[in-house]
Chain A
Amino acid sequence: MVEVSARQQHAFRILMQRHMPRALRVAQRIVRDPAEADDIGQEALLRVWSHAASFDPKVAKFTTWFYRIVLNLTFDRTRRRSFHPLDEAGEVPDTAPHAAESMIAAEEHRMLQRAMANLSDRQRGAIALFYVEGLSGQEAAEAMNLSAKAFESLLGRARAALRESVQKIQDTGSFA
């Protein structure tokens, strides 16, 4: 990061290699649109480049700072937009032959997509940081600019809503 602050493009390329997938994953989990997630990822890295000098490692870890940038950009977009880019009906089923395990995984993935659609953006953010990115509760709270207690409450509500949705989907047995 010191080299990025000193405008070293080589260091910035390495940083992008490491962190672009994180940005895309988190953004996509929240906005559910790959193209929009790509835009957010690019914008986040541009912000890292232009605001590198303001990053202070004594205040926060780089990943926490970076996730906060990604989340702010993502929530800004979801606040502005008035449509849902991807229909909540989930993805088109792949009819190619698969092993049983990957079929189960694909089915679970579709079920999760459906269930995630019922959550708020902030709840999806909490799930992405804690379960997908593997941040601790404290780190995720910092990245979302929340107190530890508020994050616990958000995560608890998100998890309860997801569990309920998954149960409902399993009971009706339909992903459509």
Chain B
Amino acid sequence: MTFDEFRRLAETWGGDVERWPAATRNAARPFAATLEGGRILAEQARLDRLFAAAPEIEAGRAERSSFLVLQRLANVQQRRPQWHRFLFPRGLVPAASLACSVLVGVWLAGAIPYVHPPSDPLSVMSGVFDVYAIGFGSVQ
């Protein structure tokens, strides 16, 4: 590195050699240790401080912007497309009705006691004849 290169790098990257590209730092340090090198860096460091002055952002301003972001997100979520509103939750009504019906059916099947029909021969015969009696113009 020459002194001119050192000066050019200082005028680009500023007065802090540690912020220069890594490949140039080792070569720059001996120049920085000289009187002239130190003077160049000090002059650039003064400009660095001036350039580093950040626009003042109050906490309230950043918070207000964050709040507005959340508000915009909420608005986007409210403005769901028509198909989305059709499917959720109104579109689930028929499926939910069917599921409820099945549940009620299963519950009733378990809740009502099952009555076994009599299976002795006399009762069976009696049942058969009763049925025919009803079917063929009995007094009933």
Contact = CB atoms under 8 A, between A and B. Distances in A.
Nearest to B19: A136
A17 B66 CA distance: 7
A85 interface: no
Interface in B1-36: 8, 11-14, 19-21
Contacts of B95: none
Nearest to B12: A156
Interface string A4-33: 000001000100110011001100110000
A162 interface: yes
Where chain A touches its partner, the secondary structure class is helix
Contacts of B19: 136-137
A112 B51 contact: yes
Interface of chain B: mostly helix, strand, loop or mixed: helix
Contacts of A160: 11
B140 to A, nearest CB: 71
Interface stretch (B54-62, B83-91, B108-116, B126-134): B54-62
Interface size of A as a range: 35 or more
A42 B11 contact: no
19 contacts: A21-B57, A24-B55, A28-B55, A29-B55, A37-B55, A38-B65, A38-B68, A45-B66, A45-B69, A46-B73, A49-B73, A132-B52, A137-B19, A156-B8, A159-B11, A159-B47, A159-B51, A162-B47, A162-B51
A168 interface: no
A13 B57 contact: no
Contact of B61 (A24, A108, A136): A24
A137 B69 contact: no
Interface string B36-73: 00000000000110111111010001111110111011
Interface centre among A111, A132, A159 (most CB of B within 10 A): A159
A105 B66 CA distance: 29
Contact of A46 (B50, B54, B57, B69): B69
A24 B63 CA distance: 11
Which 10 residue pairs of A and B lie closest in terms of their CB atoms, listed nearest first?
A156-B12, A16-B66, A131-B51, A20-B62, A28-B55, A131-B52, A132-B54, A21-B62, A24-B57, A45-B69
A137 B47 contact: no
Nearest to A138: B21
Contact of B51 (A38, A127, A137): A127
A28 B53 CA distance: 12
Nearest to A105: B53
A84 interface: no
A24 B65 contact: yes
Interface string A23-62: 0110011000010011001100110010000000000000
A38 B61 contact: yes
Contacts of B20: 137
